[in-house]
Amino acid sequence: MTRLMIITREDATRSELRQGLARYDVACSFSSYRNGVREAIAGQRPDVLLFEVGDTAPDSDIRELIRKARTGKNLPVMALVPEAMLEGIKDSLEFDDFLVSPYDSRELMLRINRLLRRDAAEDDRHSRIVCDGLTIDLETCEVTVEGNIVELTYKEYELLKLLADHRGRVFTREALLDKIWGYDYYGGDRTVDVHVRRLRGKIEDATHTYIETVRNIGYRFIREA
């Protein structure tokens, strides 16, 4: 079920939205401009935030509400905008989408679902690194090549994740030692070479090359095509 929080001043709008979305799998909660929006969001944990932009809402007030709503969260924000106010809406308000009122509840639901799909896709991109058959799941710390799980040590995983997260960037051996082993590690540069060699042996073959040696400097993950 989709959790929708609606920020509005008008009781009539609340009733209209509740009735219009009743046939969909949506749980509606409401807050007003005057109430603590951030606290309401923390309590309800909505999937999408819907603002009703009224005739008297200053842009600065709406902008501040959106900022508070998004603090620490990647929360999709949609607006209901009266047709008479379209010309006065500023790009700086940072809505992800908006719908002109009076609106059709079917179109509203379609737009909400589109925001949710986009948000889910972004979350998936942020939780995985994928490159030419190699997948690094940042949530489970699992690495696969063409669907086959690769067993890595902790240092090998951290090394791979660092390189893959900065594709094309060259890291010196000293930089890798500092970032993976820590500045107080007393081993030499050979430590990096040994771990890179072992890592390559586990994830690369004749058809897959991921880590490149930059002569006299260090290593980098292959550039994006």
d(CA 182, CA 130): 27
Q: pLDDT by residue (tens digit) across 124-138?
A: 556 788 898 999 988
The CATH number of the domain covering residues in 132-221: 1.10.10.10
Q: pLDDT by residue (tens digit) across 38-80?
A: 666 666 678 888 888 765 554 555 666 666 665 545 678 888 8
d(CA 138, CA 160): 11
Q: 2-125 adopts what CATH topology? A: Rossmann fold (3.40.50)
Given a contact cutoff of 8 angstroms between Cβ atoms, the answer to whether 157 and 195 are in contact is no
> Per-residue pLDDT for 112 more than 50?
yes
State residue 26's pLDDT score: 83
Strand partners, 135: 130, 144
- Extract the tokens encoding 81: 């905008």
> Per-residue pLDDT for 90 more than 60?
no
Given a contact cutoff of 8 angstroms between Cβ atoms, the answer to whether 116 and 96 are in contact is no
Task: Compute and round to an integer the Cα radius of gyration of the chain.
Answer: 25
Q: Do domains 2-125 and 132-221 have the same CATH topology?
A: no
Tally of CA atoms within 13 A in the half-sphere of 219 that contains its CB: 25
Name the nearest CA neighbour of 4 among 108, 95, 120: 108
d(CA 124, CA 130): 11
Q: Is 126 left (phi over 0), alpha (psi -120 to 50) or beta?
A: alpha
In this predicted model, which residue has the larger pLDDT, 163 or 82? 163
State residue 92's pLDDT score: 47
Q: Is 64 helix (H, G, I), strand (E, B) or coil?
A: helix
Q: pLDDT by residue (tens digit) across 145-179?
A: 999 999 999 999 999 999 998 999 999 998 898 88
Torsion sign over Cα 78, 82, 87, 92? negative
> Per-residue pLDDT for 184 more than 70?
no
> Per-residue pLDDT for 123 more than 60?
no
Cα 46 to the chain's mean position, in Å? 16
Domain-wise residue ranges, the chain: 2-125, 132-221
